[in-house]
Amino acid sequence: MTDPAQPAQSQPQPAAPLTEAEDKQWASFAHLGGIIWILPALIIWLVFKDRGPRTNVEAKEALNFQITVGIAQVAVFIINTILTTVTLGFWALIGWLLPLGIWVASLIFSIMGFSKVNAGGSYRYPINIRFIK
């Protein structure tokens, strides 16, 4: 049994809020992380969502975009598989262009998001399904 005169075990304290510069930095890194897919945006959002308002908004936007890109890649894979089978393999000659196009667009939009947020603005992807609100 614990002695009431003894101080209670120390409870973990919430992390300190981000400074404005740190908030902008992590928000821009969430967009730039899209170059290597979904994990950077997810980790940044989970770690910093309660510590900086800009990071919360921008990391959610980047995470939603990466989820949308992942769904598009899976859909293109399924369509390419079906069309390659139906055309007896001829579709495979041009079917590889679709996933490449999605990846290039993701790369370009991620870099645009990074530069816009790093300059102090906010970035909204032109094609984005907002799963996390």
Residues 4-18 pLDDT 10s = 555 556 777 777 887
pTM of the model: 0.82
Eight-class DSSP state of 33: G
Residue 123 within any structural domain of the chain: no
Cα–Cα nearest to 40, from 52, 50, 54, 30: 30
C-alpha–C-alpha distance, residues 23 and 105, integer Å: 26
Residue 41 within any structural domain of the chain: yes
Residues 76-107 pLDDT 10s = 999 999 999 999 988 888 889 999 999 999 99
Query: How many structural domains comprise the chain?
Result: 1
Residue 131 within any structural domain of the chain: no
Residue 133 within any structural domain of the chain: no
Domain hosting 24: range is 20-118
Residue 8 within any structural domain of the chain: no
Map 45-93 to HEC letters: HHHHCCCCHHHHHHHHHHHHHHHHHHHHHHHHHHHHHHHHHHCCCCCHH
Query: Do residues 48 and 56 touch, judged by C-beta distance below 8 A?
Result: yes
